Amino acid sequence: MPQAVFNKPFTQQEPIPADAIDEAVKVLQSGRLHRYNTLPGEFGETAEWEREYAAYQGSKFCLATASGGTAMQIALRASGVQAGDQVLTNAFTLAPVPGAISAVGAEPVFVEANDNLTIDLDDLAAKLASTGAKTLMLSHMRGHIAPMEKLCALLEQHGAQMIEDCAHTMGAKWNGTKSGNFGLAACFSTQTYKHINSGEGGLLTSDDPDLMAKASILSGSYMLYEKHLARPDMDAHAEARLDMPNCSSRMDNLRAAILRPQLKLLDQNIERWNHRYQVMEQSLQTIPGLTIPVRPQQEFYVGSSFQFLVPNWDDDACRQFLAACLERGVELKWFGDANPVGFTSRFDSWRYAQNQSLDQTILVLKRIMDMRIPLSFSVEDCQQIGQIIADEFSKKQSDMNTSS
């Protein structure tokens, strides 16, 4: 009997909503795509977008940037991080996070990951003590949120600040507090594979007026920051405008116009993602040997991707499992490969960072299988994907047991 094969691409997002297309067309027809190219008394799409996102996030201030990576770079520099400083971050993350740290001349110091795919608090405590680092760039990698009360208490104990990378947790919460509202500042992404889609784009939010004034100048506001609607008072910019360089990392009006209508759909789409995630979870949670990271009761997550851990298979077995799933149309990513592939790479392949021995994280990464859950997939699609993964996992586990 032929095996079922899934036949939809894992990179296909839903179409941009019609009202967002209409707003984008209006910007194109105006010819005024640059955020500061506005008429007298007009603020423009980007300024309105910042105000709307600040309200959604519950932050005093918001700045729209060209990408999530530039938002992180601006946040680090505006927070006082200088060349040569050590900045702690998760060992399980994506390359733009240590890339942002390196881009401001600082040194990434990686903190171990655990089986729930969050930062290991014991190793964080040890590295806060041993390095004296005063900044943590916390990556809520793949939407998994660490115990935030314990983490914040550790940082306070060591006098360290936190910037949150919320590229995968836009709309998520911990104990009722939105992801991004625990530290000094938060960075978000609107790249195509994130929760709202402008191709590329980023956001920086904070309640700190000094940081946000500096961030505005860094983003490339020139002396036009008065045209921002989610900014600090004008007086906050008095020194920043002379001290901060212009890094030309602005968002434009076209992308802002595309994003504004999508924000209205975000909470509804989170429900749709979580329904699909839970279907995947139900399909795989009873498979012997397959481990799904625990989602604590305090965590309100956004299930736009799905991860599970295989047993301690060797590299060849992991690659064979990936190939078997792909042959049936299911595209999984594996974080254990020492060779960077696509968007996926390991901390020990980032040779611009200091070489570190992180045995615990290596063991975790070698077990992580990862997949996107685009909203172009139906609930029935997710059921089929779960069944294919379960079938191929059981086959591989049986092979491994036989060979041993």
Assigned token pair, 198: 């402008």
Taking the C-alpha atoms of residue 170 and residue 303, their distance in angstroms, rounded to an integer, is 11
Is 2 contained in some domain?
Answer: no
Question: Residue 221 region, left (φ>0) first, then alpha (ψ -120 to 50), else beta?
Answer: alpha
| Packed helices 315-327 and 379-403: angle between N→C axes, nearest 10 degrees | 140
pLDDT at residue number 295: 96
Asked if residue 162 belongs to a domain, the reply is yes
Considering the domain boundaries, does residue 345 fall inside one?
yes
| Same domain flag for 239 and 371 | no
The burial class, CB within 10 Å (0-12 / 13-18 / 19+), for 198 is: buried
Is 11 within the bounds of a domain?
no
Segments forming the whole domain that contains residue 101: 18-263
C-alpha span between 328 and 151 (Å, rounded): 41
Number of domains in the chain: 2
Check which CATH number belongs to the domain holding 365 and give it.
3.90.1150.10
Residues 6+ apart with CB under 8 A from 379: 275, 276, 279
Q: How do the pLDDT tens digits run along the chain, 404 residues long?
A: 578 999 999 999 999 999 999 999 999 999 999 999 999 989 999 999 999 999 999 999 999 999 999 999 999 999 999 999 999 999 999 999 999 999 999 999 999 999 999 999 999 999 999 999 999 999 999 999 999 999 999 999 999 999 999 999 999 999 999 999 999 999 999 999 999 999 999 999 999 999 999 999 999 999 999 999 999 999 999 999 999 999 999 999 999 999 999 999 999 999 999 999 999 999 999 999 999 999 999 999 999 999 999 999 999 999 999 999 999 999 999 999 999 999 999 999 999 999 999 999 999 999 999 999 999 999 999 999 999 999 999 999 988 888 76
Residue 250, classed as helix, strand or coil, is: strand
> Taking the model in full, what pTM does it have?
0.96
375, part of any domain: yes
Give CA–CA dist 233/210, Å, rounded: 10
Which CATH number belongs to the domain containing residue 195 in this structure? Answer: 3.40.640.10
Residue 387 domain flag: yes
Examine the fold and report which residue of 202, 228, 263 is the final residue of a domain before the chain moves on: 263
Residues 253 and 119 in one domain: yes
Q: Are residues 239 and 317 in the same domain?
A: no
Angle of helix 96-103 versus helix 68-78 axis, rounded to 10: 40
Task: Give domain status of residue 13, yes or no.
Answer: no
The answer to whether residue 8 sits within a structural domain is no
379 and 393 share one domain: yes
d(CA 404, CA 397): 11
Question: Within this chain, do residues 233 and 284 fall inside the same structural domain, yes or no?
Answer: no
Of 263, 290, 313, which closes a domain?
263
Contact 400, 289 (CB under 8 A): no
* 356 and 285 co-located in one domain: yes
**DSSP string of 263-311?**
HTTHHHHHHHHHHHHHHHHHHHTTSTT-B-----TTEE---SEEEEE--
CA atoms within 13 A on the CB side of 318: 22
One-letter amino acid at 404 equals S
Question: Are residues 295 and 169 part of one domain?
Answer: no
Say whether both 230 and 375 belong to one domain. Answer: no
Of the candidates 205, 229, 263, which is a domain's last residue?
Answer: 263
Alpha helical stretches, state H, 315-378:
315-327, 359-365
234 in the same domain as 331: no
Separation CA 213–CA 233 (nearest Å):
9
Q: Are residues 152 and 294 in the same domain?
A: no
Q: Do 259 and 150 have their domain in common?
A: yes
- Check residue 404 and give its pLDDT: 62
Tell whether 213 and 157 lie within a shared domain.
yes
